[in-house]
Amino acid sequence: MSDATNSTPSDRDVLEGTGRHPDEWFAFLDMAGATKWQHKEFVAWFEANASHVNAEWVEAVTARYAAVRGLTISK
């Protein structure tokens, strides 16, 4: 991620780290019904649908998705 003091990656960071823009991930997650998921379901979805994305990026995209959608995700 571009700035070590900032825990929220930029759109460009997400694109470079995952191969997709955050809006693309959010659209995929919305289509999959992710607004009702807990943490383990996000991890399982990424493992099944985007196995090239490492755990750090799964966490970052999940956290950002939750923040944008106003969700609280339990681990």
**Cα 35 to Cα 32: distance, rounded to the nearest angstrom:** 9
Note the pLDDT tens digit of each residue in 41-65.
999 999 999 999 999 999 999 999 9
3-state secondary structure the chain: CCCCCCCCCCHHHHHHHHCCCHHHHHHHHHHCCHHHCCHHHHHHHHHHHCCCCCHHHHHHHHHHHHHHHCCCCCC
Find the mean pLDDT for residues 3-9: 64
Q: Does 6 score more than 70 pLDDT?
A: no
Q: What is the pLDDT of residues 27-39, one digit of tens each?
A: 999 999 999 999 9
Domain range list for the chain? 11-69
- Residue 4 has a pLDDT of 47
Token pair recorded at residue 70: 């106003």
